[in-house]
Amino acid sequence: MKKFIYNTNQYLLERFPNIWNTKIVWMLGISAIIHLVFYILGFIALSNVETLHKKRNVDIFFENGSIFFSILISILLIVIWLTQMFKNNGFKNFYPTSKYKLFLQFVYYFIIVFVSCTFYFSYMFGLKHYINLTYDDDVFVEEVNNANKAAVFLSHNLNDYMINHRKYPSPYDTIYCETNSGLVDGRFTYLEYYDKSYQFYTLRKEIIDFKDVYSNENIQKKGYVYFITSDSTRTYYYKENVVDIKDLHTSYQTFPLSFNEYSYEAEPSYFNFSNAFYKLKNGNDNDYSEFEFDYLSTYPYQKKKNSIERAIRNKSNHDLLLENDATKIKNTLETFLSYCSKYNIETNISVETWYNIINTGPEYKVKALIGQSKPIKGEFQFAEERTALEEYIDEITTNYYIKSEDLETAFKNIDTIKNYTVINGSIHVFLWIAFSLSILIFCFRISNLRTFIFSIIAGVVLFLFTLLIIAIYGYLVKGDFSEYFAMYLTLIISTIVLIIPLFYKDKFRKLLVGVCLNLTIAGFIPYVLLILAIITSHQSDYCRSLVFEERDCFVLLNDIGFVTTSVFLFVSALVFMYFYASIIKQWRALPEQ
Amino acid sequence: MSKVDARIAEVKSFFRNNDTVLGYRKLMDCVIDRQDLDIYNEVISLTDWKEKHPNEEKELIERSLQILDRVSKIPVTEYDTNKPLVIGKKLIKSYGYKRFKLGPISIKIHKGEVYGLVGENGNGKTTLLRLLAKELKHNSGSLDFEFDNSYDSDYDLRTNLVYIPQRTQKWYGSLKDNLKFVLSSYGVSPEENETRVLMMIARFGLWNYKHLKWSELSSGYKMRFELARTMLRQPELLLLDEPLANLDVLAQQVILEDLKSLCNSINNPVALILSSQQLYEVEKISDKVIYLKNGQYKDNKEEQVEDENQLIVEIDCNADREKLLSIFEGLQLNKLIFNGGIYVGYFDETTAFHEVLQVLGHHEIDVTYTRNITKSTRRFFVS
């Protein structure tokens, strides 16, 4: 091994002095090993199935200490690398070099730092690969579908079985159920269950142009139950006519008569259940789809999707219940309990017991509830007065329980990780951390400790000076121009700093030019960003000055977005560094005094 | 006999007279002049053998002469050193109003010549060296370089100006790697890198030290490694600030001799300017001595006009002034100066140095040290 290291070093030293000097080969090698370690750590992080019961496993890197381990390793790696790399500095000794080689040095620094501080990605790759390997996509989808089928029998919450949750058959999926007792119109038919009331309405629409939404007339609009906004219009929905459920059911010939006899009763029934146990993300990487938008959604697409999904689930439940096939239902329960076993979900219920709880007759009324966790022994005295419904719920709640929430969390974790894009926007954060660090290292390498420290001090002083001037201006001049004053003042000061090494390097002392050089290298990206921000401000102001209809104008930073801005700045930085390398060489050759 | 033949003959003579240490160094200089890597490799293996067999001098001489035979058959083009490498005209460097000012100094530096820069501390030696190295900017005058290697930027120019300050930086890592890094940075091919490095290690007598760490080296060897690294850069102008500081007398002599012979390379000569307090040693190897006093340049030959028709003798003895004045009565002593430790006697030109020695011996004066400094810049220091 020692011989291999020696031979490799000699090979690099004789052929690629820059590569030898920056130790990039060894740093990449060591980092690759550490990346592999992090990959393995990620791979085994969820090997205990019970860890899946914990919410947001996708953030496990930040919660189980891996992040601190990662930072520690990154710091150690970079510090050790720097101590090794600072041993030889050909540039300071005036060994021949070109601007291309100088630029390459910077690129090597960047690659080394970037690779040394991105163990997070390897960890996440490990995590994702483990989940993908352990939980096959098709099997997982089947498990979720089966769990959704069995969900109707998870009578945890009586409210889920109330009539207002019914979405099938049509027009249950389109009519609106008023559950607020105060808004129930007593002149018409409505249903009651304990202290709850349910009144169904058809809805009428009112469509207005979006541009009129904030008009005086519309802004005070009242009485609608919800609205849906599209690109050009907003549709308000108002309650129209009361629907008599009894009438409704008799008009549907596909409905069995026996069902009709009971359906208008408000008594909770398994037929009413339309919730999903777990909704798959299907490639959607965000959590928004998990929120229950339903009728309150202002997003037409999601409302539609939710309504349809609920109707489909309700139908599926209906079909299973109408079939009334004990074997089939028991199979459904058995499958669910097998998942409980697979995912170590706590339960004390058997298929038979569970079936007995739900088998309440062809109308499948909910007459017993299953707990969500192990019941706590002992009696509780409730200080507050309890409603009749609450007392009834207590009465029908059995000692049987299934910690189904853990299974749901496990599904959610698996699904989230499966859909997680490892190389996502966060890579830009790491990219800029690595870029900033490599800039600092590069500045130190091309100048010297004295110039480097003076550069930091000068940077801080300039910053404070600018703030002071802005504060004084803001105090003396009242108005809305302080934002522009701050931006333009910073631009002027930055430009002065920028042009000194470019055009006046012979006029000032080398130390001062070196400080400006370092500030330029470190501040180029903020400088470009400042120019973009100034353009954006002007565009925004112009845009605001337009009438509403014409406000759809291009505003630079807002419209190109974070990723494009980041990529643009990064490419600009590389181009700048390449061309600026010749200025760095010129500065280095300047006399000291 | 050409310069090339003379060098070969000189080396042969050293070996015939069993001056193997010196002969071997001179042999290596001849080899380096040829730039033939096959012969480099032969010398490297011979050096290795020599270090393993320190007592087999006869065989060493025999093998060395064989190499020398091969060397003598390779033609070498003599470099024209008449063209000045550096031309400085009326250079002035001032550190500010009422502060130290160097110059005006006009100077012409030729390749193959050694320039000794002497003067008391604070008289501008380092300033002049740094001016020539472009480390400092001159306030007025002109400074032109006529290098063989073309350059198109100040940075490239400074890659040709090798300046070694008095306090050199520590080397980190393997010494050999440091040397190889120089060559690879200068674009020397991988095939030549190791050979050239080992050749330079051998030339500076560092064979047995190449595996040590920097901290394990004495000051003398540190300086030798520094010079080896410098010579690998094949500089055209070499500026050394006090290279002899902290070295013992023997090390000083060896380094100066090495520098002298490397600068006098037939086909690749170097212009060397070195500052030092070791007047005797510097004067011995320098082709020209530049004496600086209060930032002003005093040419040795110009000053001689003032002091001509005089014999100036430096004497360190335990006799008092009256005694010396009395014994030198017959020797046309013009003046006798005592600077606290040493007497400096100024005699008429008709007086010979051996007569002074004779008188001192005759009167049994206990002389610790004496030297004829008529032509030495030493007289500027003691007067």
Peptide bond into A171 cis (omega under 30): yes
Do the beta carbons of residue A34 and residue A71 sit within 8 Å?
A: no
Looking at chain A, the whole-number percentage of residues with pLDDT higher than 90 is 50
Pick the CATH number of B126-301 from 3.40.50.2300, 3.40.50.300, 1.10.150.20, 3.40.640.10: 3.40.50.300
> Taking the domains of chain A in order of start, what are their residue ranges?
1-134, 447-593
Look at residue A191 in the predicted model and tell me its pLDDT. Answer: 83
Look at residue A289 in the predicted model and tell me its pLDDT. Answer: 39
B158 touches chain A (CB under 8 A): yes
Look at residue A253 in the predicted model and tell me its pLDDT. Answer: 38
A368-377, B249-258, B297-306: which is most confident: A368-377
Asked whether the predicted pLDDT for residue B159 surpasses 60, the reply is yes
A589 with B155: Cβ contact below 8 A = yes
Q: What is the pLDDT of residues B219-245, one digit of tens each?
A: 888 888 998 999 999 888 999 988 888
- Nearest CB neighbour to A95, from listed B153, B157, B182: B182
CB burial string B65-92: b at 16+ within 10 A, e below: eebbeebbeeebeebeeeebbbebeebe
- Nearest CB neighbour to B155, from listed A13, A585, A591: A585
Angle subtended at Cα A124 by Cα A119 and Cα A129, rounded to the nearest 5 degrees: 130
Look at residue B377 in the predicted model and tell me its pLDDT. Answer: 67
**Cross-strand bridge partners of residue B118:** B291
Residue position matching structure tokens 């309990």: A337
Q: How far is CA A556 from CA A527, A533, A564, B181, in A?
A: 16, 8, 11, 48
Instruction: Select the residue from B184, B188, B189, B192 to test the A interface by mutation, using most A Cβ atoms within 10 A.
Output: B184
A586 touches chain B (CB under 8 A): yes
Q: Is A433 exposed, middle or buried (0-12, 13-18, 19+ CB in 10 A)?
A: middle
A593 with B136: Cβ contact below 8 A = yes
- Residue in chain A closest to B162 (alpha carbons) equals A94
Do the beta carbons of residue B239 and residue B164 sit within 8 Å?
A: yes
Work out the pLDDT band at A286, boundaries 50, 70, 90: very low
- Nearest CB neighbour to B159, from listed A17, A96, A593: A96
Asked whether the predicted pLDDT for residue B121 surpasses 90, the reply is no
Look at residue A581 in the predicted model and tell me its pLDDT. Answer: 93
A88 with B173: Cβ contact below 8 A = yes
- Residue in chain B closest to A18 (alpha carbons) equals B185
Instruction: Select the residue from B155, B191, B210, B239 to test the A interface by mutation, using most A Cβ atoms within 10 A.
Output: B155
Q: What is the mean pLDDT of residues B134-147?
A: 88
Work out the pLDDT band at B263, boundaries 50, 70, 90: confident
Q: What is the pLDDT of residues A123-144, one digit of tens each?
A: 999 999 999 999 999 999 999 9
Cα distance between residue A392 and residue A194, in whole Å: 9
Q: What is the mean pLDDT of residues A478-502?
A: 87
A259-273, A542-556, B253-267: which is most confident: B253-267
Q: What is the pLDDT of residues A114-124, one digit of tens each?
A: 999 999 999 99
Q: Which of B250, B249, B256 is nearest to B227 (CA)?
A: B256
Q: How far is B184 from chain A (nearest CA, A)?
A: 5
Look at residue A105 in the predicted model and tell me its pLDDT. Answer: 93
Q: Using alpha carbons only, how large is chain A's radius of gyration in Å?
A: 34
Name the least confident of A169-183, A542-556, A578-592, B181-195: A542-556
Asked whether the predicted pLDDT for residue B369 surpasses 80, the reply is yes
Look at residue A569 in the predicted model and tell me its pLDDT. Answer: 93
Asked whether the predicted pLDDT for residue A106 surpasses 90, the reply is yes
Q: What is the pLDDT of residues A6-18, one digit of tens each?
A: 999 999 999 999 9
Work out the pLDDT band at A247, boundaries 50, 70, 90: low
Q: Tell the CATH topology of B308-382.
A: Alpha-Beta Plaits (3.30.70)
- Residue in chain A closest to B156 (alpha carbons) equals A96
Residue position matching structure tokens 């000068």: A458
Work out the pLDDT band at A295, boundaries 50, 70, 90: very low
Look at residue A254 in the predicted model and tell me its pLDDT. Answer: 38
A90 with B136: Cβ contact below 8 A = no
Interface ipTM above 0.90? no
Cα distance between residue B144 and residue B89, in whole Å: 9
Work out the pLDDT band at A573, boundaries 50, 70, 90: very high
A26-35, A289-298, B2-11, B358-367: which is most confident: A26-35
A592 with B153: Cβ contact below 8 A = no
Residue position matching structure tokens 């007086």: B351
Work out the pLDDT band at A527, boundaries 50, 70, 90: very high
Asked whether the predicted pLDDT for residue B305 surpasses 90, the reply is no
Torsion angle in degrees (nearest 10) through CA of A338, A339, A343, A344: -40
Look at residue A293 in the predicted model and tell me its pLDDT. Answer: 37
Q: What is the pLDDT of residues A345-369, one digit of tens each?
A: 999 999 999 999 998 888 788 999 9
- Which one has a higher pLDDT value, A519 or A235? A519
Do the beta carbons of residue B198 and residue B151 sit within 8 Å?
A: no
- Nearest CB neighbour to B158, from listed A17, A582, A589: A589
Instruction: Select the residue from B185, B197, B214 to test the A interface by mutation, using most A Cβ atoms within 10 A.
Output: B185
> Taking the domains of chain B in order of start, what are their residue ranges?
3-72, 126-301, 308-382
Q: What is the mean pLDDT of residues A102-118?
A: 95
In chain B, DSSP assigns E strands to 84-94, 101-110, 114-118, 140-145, 161-164, 237-241, 271-275, 288-293, 296-299, 310-317, 333-338, 343-348, 367-372
Asked whether the predicted pLDDT for residue B54 surpasses 90, the reply is no
Q: Other C-beta atoms within 10 Å of A463: how many?
A: 12
B186 with A95: Cβ contact below 8 A = yes
Look at residue B299 in the predicted model and tell me its pLDDT. Answer: 58
Asked whether the predicted pLDDT for residue A36 surpasses 90, the reply is yes
Q: How far is A535 from chain B (nearest CA, A)?
A: 38
- Which one has a higher pLDDT value, B324 or A409? A409
Q: What is the mean pLDDT of residues A442-468?
A: 93
Cα distance between residue A161 and residue A370, in whole Å: 13
A413 touches chain B (CB under 8 A): no
Asked whether the predicted pLDDT for residue B112 surpasses 80, the reply is yes
Q: How far is B235 from chain A (nearest CA, A)?
A: 11
Q: How far is A8 from chain B (nearest CA, A)?
A: 13
B194 touches chain A (CB under 8 A): yes
> Order of strands across the sheet with B367-372?
B333-338, B343-348, B310-317, B367-372
B185 with A95: Cβ contact below 8 A = yes
Helices (H) and strands (E) in chain A, counts: 21, 7
A187 touches chain B (CB under 8 A): no
Cα distance between residue B88 and residue B129, in whole Å: 12
Q: Other C-beta atoms within 10 Å of A106: how many?
A: 26
A96 with B137: Cβ contact below 8 A = no
Q: Which residues of chain B have a CB within 8 Å of the CB of A592?
A: 130, 135-136
Work out the pLDDT band at A93, boundaries 50, 70, 90: confident
Q: What is the pLDDT of residues B29-41, one digit of tens each?
A: 999 988 889 999 9
Q: Which residues 71-100 on chain B approach chain A with CB closer than 8 angstroms?
A: 95
Look at residue B363 in the predicted model and tell me its pLDDT. Answer: 87
Look at residue A388 in the predicted model and tell me its pLDDT. Answer: 87
Asked whether the predicted pLDDT for residue A219 surpasses 60, the reply is yes
A90 touches chain B (CB under 8 A): yes
Residue B271 phi, psi (nearest 5): -85, 125
Asked whether the predicted pLDDT for residue B380 surpasses 70, the reply is no
Name the least confident of A243-252, A306-315, B163-172: A243-252
Q: What is the mean pLDDT of residues A62-89?
A: 91
Instruction: Select the residue from A19, A88, A586 to test the B interface by mutation, using most B Cβ atoms within 10 A.
Output: A88
What the block records as the tokens of A88 is: 């030889």
Average pLDDT, chain B: 85
Q: Other C-beta atoms within 10 Å of A59: how many?
A: 12
Q: How far is A27 from chain B (nearest CA, A)?
A: 17
SS3 for A21-46 is HHCHHHHHHHHHHHHHHHHHHHHHCC
Work out the pLDDT band at B176, boundaries 50, 70, 90: very high
Q: Which residues of chain A have a CB within 8 Å of the CB of B153?
A: 582, 585-586, 589
Look at residue A120 in the predicted model and tell me its pLDDT. Answer: 94
Cα distance between residue B185 and residue A17, in whole Å: 6
Look at residue B300 in the predicted model and tell me its pLDDT. Answer: 53
Judging by DSSP bridges, how do beta strands B271-275 and B237-241 pair with one another? parallel
Cα distance between residue A136 and residue A128, in whole Å: 12
Asked whether the predicted pLDDT for residue B360 surpasses 90, the reply is no
Average pLDDT, chain A: 86
B155 touches chain A (CB under 8 A): yes
A17 with B172: Cβ contact below 8 A = no
Name the least confident of A269-278, A377-386, A394-403: A377-386
Work out the pLDDT band at A30, boundaries 50, 70, 90: very high
Cα distance between residue B176 and residue B302, in whole Å: 46
Q: Which residues of chain B have a CB within 8 Å of the CB of A94?
A: 155, 158-159, 161
